[in-house]
Amino acid sequence: MCKVQRESAAAFAADYGWQIFPAHPTVKKSYKSKEHNGRNWGMTGDAAEIEADFTRWPDARIGIPTGAVNGFIVIETDTIEGHGVDGSPGLQGLEARYGALPETRCVMSPSGSVHRYFLHPGKHIKIVSRAIAPGVDVKGDGGMVIGAGSVNPDGRAYRLVNANPMAALPDAWIDLLKEKKPTIRERATAAVNAHRVMRMVGNGGGNAYARAALRSEIEALSNAAPHTRNTALNKAAFSLCQLVHGGLLDFAEVERQLLDACVANGARDTARQITSTIKSAFNAAASKPRRGFSNELVRLSDKSH
């Protein structure tokens, strides 16, 4: 195991010119820190340092920072085995909306998750690491992935599915993935949209109590006071993601409405920070899906009339 990972790590640095680091064998963190060489995760492209790292930590997997630092981003499609959700339907929905992704370099994790590598659009554009659909994540600036050739403690490996050159992202996908800081005009528009959506979900279509829950949570978040915004976002995101996992609400729509509500209430967090909170809530809610009536939701429905 030691020889495979050490040689693979050296090859990444030599062949691709990537910065890499020795990642822990069971969690996605580095054995090193910024204190080792002044760089995040203690990343390096120096062959001698890489050799020393993977000799010191022979069980380390190959950690590869994503984003402009290495010139690529990764779109990851999860599996039930790996993350408790099948990302294939989510990716198909995104491709129907934003266009098919081109063939590109692919790596498969031991659990079957597919990592599609795409060229970073340039340092002037920041790609936000976040969930973009149930079971579909993007690893962009500030993110990381485990590289092909890495071997888990159980002996299962990350393997290269194909060695296609990394493709460029279509423009529509770049627009979806890049970080956007709202202008004053966009804040005002989001506030109007939040109220419009609250009116829309009160009219026919969809599940009655899911609509009531959506309306209630978005209204509360839109009007949250400055000192309660973070708590309100955590509460709303977790509650609504329970309904997403229960198949009653669409994740992309929930995420969009939560972002709009945060803009409407004047939140100072960046879109990346907000989407990170939503992703954490999505993951936490996976074990507690809501699919049927509950006393809480009945009360929400009652309040809506």
Q: Which of 125, 152, 177 is the last residue of a domain?
A: 177
Q: Which of 117, 146, 177 is the last residue of a domain?
A: 177
Q: Which of 177, 205, 222 is the last residue of a domain?
A: 177
Cα dihedral 288, 290, 294, 295, rounded to 10, equals 60
pLDDT of the residue at 303: 46
Structural domain count of the chain? 2
pLDDT of the residue at 12: 75
Pairing label, strands 144-146, 114-119 = unpaired
Q: Residues 27, 147: one domain?
A: yes
Instruction: Determine the Cα–Cα distance for residues 41 and 58; give it in Å rounded to an integer.
Output: 17
Closest CA to 213 of 275, 148, 297: 297
SS (H, E, C) 43-74: CECCHHHHHHHHHHCCCCEEEEECECCCCEEE
Q: Residues 165, 242: one domain?
A: no
Residue 180 is given by DSSP the state -
The C-alpha angle with vertex 142 and arms to 163 and 274, in degrees rounded to 5, equals: 120
Residue 39 is given by DSSP the state S
pLDDT of the residue at 252: 83
Q: Residues 147, 210: one domain?
A: no
pLDDT of the residue at 57: 92
Q: Residues 106, 17: one domain?
A: yes
Length of the chain as a residue count = 305
The residue ranges of the chain whose pLDDT is under 50 are 1, 200-206, 293-305
pLDDT of the residue at 80: 87
Domain that holds residue 165: 2-177
pLDDT of the residue at 203: 46
